[in-house]
């Protein structure tokens, strides 16, 4: 109702009882997060496996763009895949690549991530936290090493991985959720810094204490700090590269961080 004096005239035509409740539209003090009932944020919902299963075809319109304040983007790629196709032939190499996809897809979903798309032999995935991303990496690398232990060296799957966190645009591309922006570009460029079975990550990811704790849990043989020029990104960028050792857990300390010349 508008402010000021209002005249209400009510007629009861259907029931022998009638009444009127007046409610003042005044909100209490703002509730804290702890006082609110359990809930899922929009990003948590998008990353929930049941949402993908039940509502995977429900996407925003092609005209809409949603600005995401913070999302962790991971890129993976197989090293030496061209040589694998030449050595093993297209059919056998393709089947190995499919095995690699299955291993990564399972690990990404297990640790709360969402597979965004595949690009050739590469996988792009998103996570709500940096911690989830590195645990998914460690899980996948462990499975790949077990996979490789039963095969000839020319059939081994070795991957290089990059992780970056920042803002992004959530869009609808080909009736599927996708991300665009500098965060995505930087994550892809950081992945190119890695060699076989290495993961590289940005300064934004390295500064996350939960991420460092997850690195310790996963097992880290060494972390190298590096300053690199990344294609398409202005200015030198600080990044870090580590090798995941899934067979043992090595304490993480400041001594593990070494400047790469």
pLDDT digits (tens, 9 = 90+) for 8-29: 888 888 877 777 777 777 766 7
- Top-confidence range, 19-28, 57-66, 160-169, 219-228: 160-169
Poorest-pLDDT segment among 4-18, 191-205, 243-257: 243-257
Note the pLDDT of residue 222.
81
Find where tokens 């591309």 sit: 173
Check pLDDT > 70 for residue 42.
yes
Task: Give this prediction's pTM.
Answer: 0.77
Give residue 254's pLDDT: 36
Pair of tokens at residue 180: 């665009």
Residue 95: both structure tokens together? 């089947």
Backbone φ and ψ of 124, nearest 5°: -115, 130
Query: Residue length, the chain?
Result: 261
Task: Give, for 92, the enclosing helix (H) or strand (E).
Answer: helix 90-110
DSSP state of 37: P
Q: What percent of the chain has pLDDT over 90?
A: 49
Tell me: the pLDDT tens digits for 173-188?
877 889 999 999 999 9
Are 72 and 129 in contact by the 8 Å Cβ rule? The answer is: yes
Domains defined for the chain, CATH in brackets: 65-259 (3.30.70.1230)
- Across the chain, the runs of DSSP E, i.e. the strands, are 66-78, 114-119, 122-127, 159-172, 177-180, 198-202, 220-229, 236-244, 257-259
Asked whether residue 250 carries a pLDDT value surpassing 50, the answer given is: no
Model confidence at 218, pLDDT cuts 50, 70, 90, reads confident
**Residues 247, 223: Cα–Cα separation, whole Å:** 17
178 in Cβ contact with 116 (< 8 Å): yes
Q: What pLDDT is attached to residue 251?
A: 33
Q: What is the mean pLDDT of residues 16-45?
A: 76
Query: How far, CA to CA in Å, does 180 sit from each of 112, 140, 166?
Result: 21, 25, 11
For 207, phi then psi, to 5°, come to -75, -5
**Which of 25-34, 97-106, 118-127 is predicted with the least confidence, judged by mean pLDDT?**
25-34
| Rounded distance between C-alpha atoms, residue 176 and residue 25, angstroms | 40
Phi, psi for 44 (deg, rounded to 5) = -60, -40
Residue 133's Cβ-side half-sphere holds a number of Cα atoms within 13 Å equal to: 30
Which pLDDT does position 256 carry in this prediction?
40
CB contact set of 203 (below 8 Å; sequence gap of 6+): 237, 238, 239, 240
Q: What mean pLDDT value characterizes the chain?
A: 85
Percent helix, strand, coil in the chain (nearest 5)? 35, 25, 40
Mean pLDDT of 42-54: 82
Closest CA to 140 of 169, 170, 120, 163: 163
- 246 token code pair: 């899934």
């Amino acid at each position: 109702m508008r402010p000021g004096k209002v005249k209400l005239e009510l007629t009861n035509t259907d029931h022998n009882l009638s009444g009127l409740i007046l409610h003042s539209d005044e909100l209490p003090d703002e509730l804290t997060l702890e006082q609110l009932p359990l809930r899922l944020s929009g990003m948590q919902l998008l990353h929930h496996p049941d949402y993908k299963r039940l509502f995977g075809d429900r996407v925003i319109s092609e005209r809409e763009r949603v600005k995401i304040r913070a999302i962790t983007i991971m890129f993976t790629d197989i090293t030496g895949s061209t040589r694998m196709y030449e050595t093993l032939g297209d059919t056998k190499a393709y089947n190995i690549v499919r095995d690699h996809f299955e291993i990564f897809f399972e690990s990404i979903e297990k640790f709360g991530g969402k597979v965004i798309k595949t690009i050739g032999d590469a996988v792009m995935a998103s996570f709500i936290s940096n911690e989830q991303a590195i645990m998914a990496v460690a899980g996948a690398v462990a499975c790949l090493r077990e996979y490789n232990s039963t095969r000839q060296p020319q059939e081994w799957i070795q991957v290089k991985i990059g992780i970056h966190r920042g803002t992004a645009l959530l869009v609808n591309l080909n009736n599927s959720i996708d991300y665009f922006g500098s965060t995505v570009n930087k994550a892809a460029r950081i992945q190119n810094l890695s060699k076989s079975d290495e993961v590289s990550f940005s300064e934004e990811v390295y500064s996350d204490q939960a991420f460092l704790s997850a690195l310790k849990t996963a097992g880290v043989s060494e972390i190298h700090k590096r300053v690199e020029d990344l294609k398409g990104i202005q200015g030198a960028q600080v990044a870090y590269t580590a090798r995941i050792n899934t067979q043992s857990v090595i304490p993480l300390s400041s001594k593990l961080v070494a400047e790469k010349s």
